[in-house]
Amino acid sequence: MSVHVGEAAQAPDFPSAAQKLVANTQLRHNVRHATDVIRRKRARVVDEMSDWQQLREAGQRIKDHTLRHLDHYLLQFEEACTRAGGKVHWARDADAANCIVIDLIRSHHQTEVIKVKTMTSDETGLNKVLHHAGVTPYETDLADLIVQLGEDKPSHIVVPALHRNKMEIRQIFLEKMNLQELGDRPEDLTAAARNYLREKFLRVKIGISGANFAVAETGSVCVVESEGNGRMCVSLPQVLISLVGIEKIVPTFQDLEVFLQLLPRSATGERMNPYNSFWTGIASGDGPQEFHVILLDNGRTQVLADEESRETLDCIRCGACLNVCPVYRQTGGHAYGSVYGGPIGAILTPQLQSMEHSQSLPYASSLCGACYEVCPVKINIPEILIHLRGKVVENGDAPFTERMAMKAAAFFLESGDRLATGQKLARIGQLPFVHDGTISRLPGLLGGWTAVRDLSPVPKQSFREWWAKRDQEKR
Ligand code: SF4
């Protein structure tokens, strides 16, 4: 099985990518401004819910139950979807999913597709494969369109073009839509996107969507969005292909009552998404007359098998953990080298790829716990990060400096005498670097630590020394 998560396998490690991105002050400003706005909106609409914590617990329980019985619910979904006139395909990995899509497009002799809300297709690298096969994909979600026309990469799982400001977007539209003039008000930009997309909605015969949820009981697929482009993408084409990660299954329609409250408030600070689209199989003379669902594994069953990190699959992709993460807010999503950025990306990408290419991601966190506090399904991201860091060490892939530091720490900590000697040596060794009671600059490799923070000097007296002295004085 060849699992890929976008281009994560070729991406530079997090520290190298982040170092370049933090130097881009415009990008940092854009990311901070946008995440501040969403955080404020989220806090307002969450505060007005007296049962928010109960809702979170209900969401967590439904997800936990579903994952424990995923085999059952997937088969139930297949049966219900087939009964309603849909066709279910099973894709073991990204390559298999992309092949199914290409075969379906070729069987209809088409060379264009419209797409909406398909982060999973970014995961499988579908657009690249489509181009290679002579098929032109048109992204129709506004943010995805900005990313596509700007030949860029998504930087946020809910707002993929969050790193762009309106002047940058205006410039992209002017160039790529061949416009002579364009204002810079949000309504000017959305009007330009509407003109560009409408004709494609009406002409292109195949639509490709992702899914926020897939309901086992009814075989329905659900997409929530704010623009209405998704609604057009799933209802106007003759053929609809929905690419769905296997963790998107929920057992019953009623379960959506919980998630459709948790998701919009956490994602965009809205009480309800303006467009909630559901489709179940096909209906004669109404909407697509051919409907395919591709259920994608691509490493998810591997994650499912690890009890300590299985809850990663509970994620409903709201992006709240990105908006509060002090690391993401400095670097933006591109540093994570994957379609999944921020705290959820730091735990999901390394697991999907078996830690093969993404060992640096579990370290892209201060472990402050802000992500856990906001997560609408209570995923304990800090604990999973620590679990994954343990795996990096087990694999012998921890950074050289960390391994050396841990060896040195073990040498001194395993004997009281050695620790006392080490403390005495450190007190003498630090003298040239202590100024005004603080160490602001250390030499060599240790300089990395003091480059961005001060260090307290080793105390004049250790706790043991203080205790021994106290005992002596009492006698
Ligand atoms: S981990 Fe939680 S907060 Fe982060 S995107 Fe997923 S559901 Fe949202």
Mutation test of ligand 1: which of 119, 250, 315, 373 has the most ligand atoms closer than 8 Å to its C-beta? 315
21 lines ligand 1 (CB under 6 A): no
From ligand 1's centre to the CA of 70, what distance in Å? Answer: 20
Tokens of 433: 């670097």
From ligand 1's centre to the CA of 76, what distance in Å? Answer: 26
The ligand 1 atom at the shortest distance from the C-alpha of residue 267 is 8
pLDDT value at residue 72: 98
DSSP-assigned letters across all residues of 56-105? HHHHHHHHHHHHHTHHHHHHHHHHHHHHTT-EEEEESSHHHHHHHHHHHH
From ligand 1's centre to the CA of 377, what distance in Å? Answer: 7
Mutation test of ligand 1: which of 266, 268, 339 has the most ligand atoms closer than 8 Å to its C-beta? 266
From ligand 1's centre to the CA of 305, what distance in Å? Answer: 20
Tokens of 77: 């979904």
With b for 16 or more beta-carbon neighbours within 10 A and e for fewer, the 10-36 pattern comes to ebebbeebbeebeeeeebbebbeebbe
Tokens of 36: 């501040």
pLDDT value at residue 399: 73
| Measured distance CA(70)–CA(471) in Å, rounded | 62
| Measured distance CA(351)–CA(358) in Å, rounded | 9
Which residue's CA is minimally distant from atom 3 of ligand 1?
A: 375
Task: Report the 10 Å Cβ neighbour count for 257.
Answer: 11
Q: Could you read off the pLDDT of 390-414 as tens digits, one per residue?
A: 998 888 777 777 788 888 899 999 9
Task: Report the 10 Å Cβ neighbour count for 51.
Answer: 10
Asked whether the beta carbons of 80 and 286 are under 8 A apart, the reply is: no
pLDDT value at residue 442: 87
Which residue's CA is minimally distant from atom 8 of ligand 1?
A: 318
**Longest CA pairwise span in the chain (Å):** 97
First-residue to last-residue Cα distance in the chain: 72
pLDDT value at residue 199: 94
Which residue's CA is minimally distant from atom 2 of ligand 1?
A: 375
Task: Report the 10 Å Cβ neighbour count for 386.
Answer: 14
| Measured distance CA(154)–CA(332) in Å, rounded | 10
| Measured distance CA(379)–CA(314) in Å, rounded | 7
317 lines ligand 1 (CB under 6 A): yes
Low-confidence ranges of the chain (pLDDT < 50): none
| Measured distance CA(281)–CA(221) in Å, rounded | 9
Q: Could you read off the pLDDT of 323-380 as tens digits, one per residue?
A: 999 999 999 999 999 999 999 999 999 999 877 778 899 999 999 999 999 999 999 9
Residue with tokens 């979600």: 141
| Measured distance CA(381)–CA(346) in Å, rounded | 9
267 lines ligand 1 (CB under 6 A): no
Mutation test of ligand 1: which of 375, 383, 384 has the most ligand atoms closer than 8 Å to its C-beta? 375
Q: Is 272 left (phi over 0), alpha (psi -120 to 50) or beta?
A: beta
DSSP-assigned letters across all residues of 328-354? HHHH-GGGG-SSS-HHHHHHHHHHHTT
Asked whether the beta carbons of 52 and 46 are under 8 A apart, the reply is: yes
97 lines ligand 1 (CB under 6 A): no
| Measured distance CA(14)–CA(330) in Å, rounded | 13
The ligand 1 atom at the shortest distance from the C-alpha of residue 342 is 4
Total residue length of the chain: 475
Q: What is the dihedral of CA 407, 411, 412, 414, to 10 degrees?
A: 120
Q: Is 122 helix (H, G, I), strand (E, B) or coil?
A: helix
321 lines ligand 1 (CB under 6 A): yes
Mutation test of ligand 1: which of 67, 268, 314, 321 has the most ligand atoms closer than 8 Å to its C-beta? 321
From ligand 1's centre to the CA of 343, what distance in Å? Answer: 8
Its pTM stands at 0.88
Cβ neighbors of 452 (< 8 A, separation 6 or more) are none
Residue in 300, 419, 397, 394 with CA at minimum distance from that of residue 352: 300
Tokens of 135: 């098929």
pLDDT value at residue 406: 86
Q: Is 275 helix (H, G, I), strand (E, B) or coil?
A: strand
pLDDT value at residue 2: 77
From ligand 1's centre to the CA of 38, what distance in Å? Answer: 14
Type of residue numbered 70: L
344 lines ligand 1 (CB under 6 A): yes
| Measured distance CA(195)–CA(223) in Å, rounded | 23
319 lines ligand 1 (CB under 6 A): yes
From residue 341, alpha-carbon distances to 107, 122, 224, 334, 355 in Å are: 35, 13, 20, 7, 16
